[in-house]
A and B are shown apart, each in its own frame.
Chain A
Amino acid sequence: VSDRTVDQTNPAMTLKVPVSGDETTVSADLLADRAGFLRNRARILGADVAGVQHEVADFHRSTIGPAIRAKAVEVAKRPLADLLQELADLGFSWRAIAELCEVSVPALRKWRIGTSEPARTNRQRLAELVAVSELLTADHLIDDVAAWLEMPLDANSVVTAFDLLRQHRDDCVVELAGAHRAPADVLDEVDPEWRSRRIQFEVVEGPDGEHLIRPTSDAGTQ
């Protein structure tokens, strides 16, 4: 090997092999040895970077929940009717709001018509939904928050970002909104079996115009 570059066909991919000043040729085995050394250094450096990324991600994640709860404490000071109206204006269903607040739909209806008041923890949950919605809109420019939260994270899963909120995983929702994590990565954490439960049925429009259920076209090969 008389040349000191590994690849000359693509200048962007060229890798300089370290040689001493008086070397004009490098033997093949020495070249392989040095390339191996470089590769090890790159791997160690990559692991270091990944470790730092992991630590920073953990730190960021640990700050999300407290930040939302702190914002929610302020939001909860607004009148109850205003909180409910804001969520209605965003397009949330009352059923979804009730689930998040861990109360029945009739109980939530009583809040709306003013015949009962939520307990402090329920009001805090309501305020957290408002806080998350405002944060997603302001910081992550999500135009239709309710629609975004109601969409499945992956075509092969029924888990939505709203389900994550119900599981008190606001951190995952904010990470998804900020594109810090891939949906599949979040699903692996919150629903480890989701891949094996890959739906083998699909919903299509039937000849009468109504939805019908049928096996997916590749169900037989799975």
Chain B
Amino acid sequence: VESPASADALWLARDADVNPNRPIFTGDLFDDVEVAGQGPKGMAMVVAHPCSMRGKNGALAERVLMAPVRSYQKLPLKAWTEGHFGVFPIPGVDETAAVALDALGTAPTTALDSASRVACLSELGVNLLQQRLVMRLTRADLPTSVFHEAFSHTYEEADLLEEWCDVLSDAGRSIEEATAMFELAVREPRPAGESFQGLLRDPQQRASVRRDLRRLAQEAAGSS
């Protein structure tokens, strides 16, 4: 089990830096959420795997797996590797609290609005979260590099959706409209057969997918 090099390395964005155009993703930290069976409303983290959060058309599931944040002793980064596998510390957000990985439950996605999103984990943070969760639930210690290899395409897609929504919202489109257009664009089979979403699974194809989607976003913005 690994630890981050710094608290900052855990986070993609916090507080006012969180982009409301970013889709809800694994590792997002929300305030004021009630996790079923886990007590009153409070801060909670999305721990559902990206693949299980959305249906085939890209729509969010009605409920997603979350874990509440609870008070916990301040953990130095080196202690991450020595135990405490039942929690995912959140230094940089709250030094004396952690995501309780033993207190899983679901929450309705309607309760997860961008205004209450406190922070988003970085890709490394998501990999560390998945590593700790798997360790806690199964005692299997998988390196984060394996999670990165298996699921980095989902993080890429979230990045691209965020960028797409930035471009189209500047052109006057709502986030819902922009998201729907993106989902159509990434799932549609390309002339060569594979969709952008499929191509993102191949690291060698990602740069060209980014180029194509950026061009399509500009075209869509131009016609808005």
Q: Interface residues, chain A, CB within 8 Å of chain B?
A: 88-95, 104-106, 109, 144, 146-147, 150-152, 158, 197, 199, 201, 203, 210-213
Contacts and interface: CB of A to CB of B under 8 A. Distances in A.
Nearest to B198: A209
B151 interface: yes
B90 to A, nearest CB: 17
B146 A201 contact: yes
Given A91-B211, A150-B206, A151-B203, A105 B149 contact: no
B150 A91 contact: no
Interface string B159-196: 10001000000000000000000000000000000000
A84 B206 CA distance: 18
Contacts, number: 75
Main secondary structure of the interface of B (DSSP, over half): helix
Given A106-B17, A211-B150, A199 B207 contact: no
B205 interface: yes
Nearest to B153: A211
Contacts of A199: 143, 145-146
Interface in B74-112: none
Interface of B: 8, 11-13, 17, 19, 51, 123, 142-143, 145-151, 153, 156, 159, 163, 201, 203-211, 214
B145 A92 contact: no
Main secondary structure of the interface of A (DSSP, over half): mixed
Nearest to B56: A209
Contacts of A210: 51
Given A93-B159, A94-B159, A211-B151, A147 B146 contact: no
A199 B143 CA distance: 9
Contacts of B209: 91
Given A144-B208, A158-B148, A94 B163 contact: yes
B211 A106 contact: no
B208 A91 contact: yes
A147 B145 contact: no
29 contacts: A88-B214, A90-B211, A91-B207, A91-B210, A91-B211, A93-B156, A93-B159, A94-B163, A95-B123, A104-B8, A104-B12, A105-B12, A106-B13, A106-B17, A109-B19, A146-B210, A147-B205, A147-B206, A147-B208, A150-B203, A150-B207, A151-B203, A152-B203, A199-B143, A201-B143, A203-B149, A210-B51, A211-B151, A211-B153
B146 A90 contact: no
A191 B189 CA distance: 39
Contacts of B143: 197, 199, 201
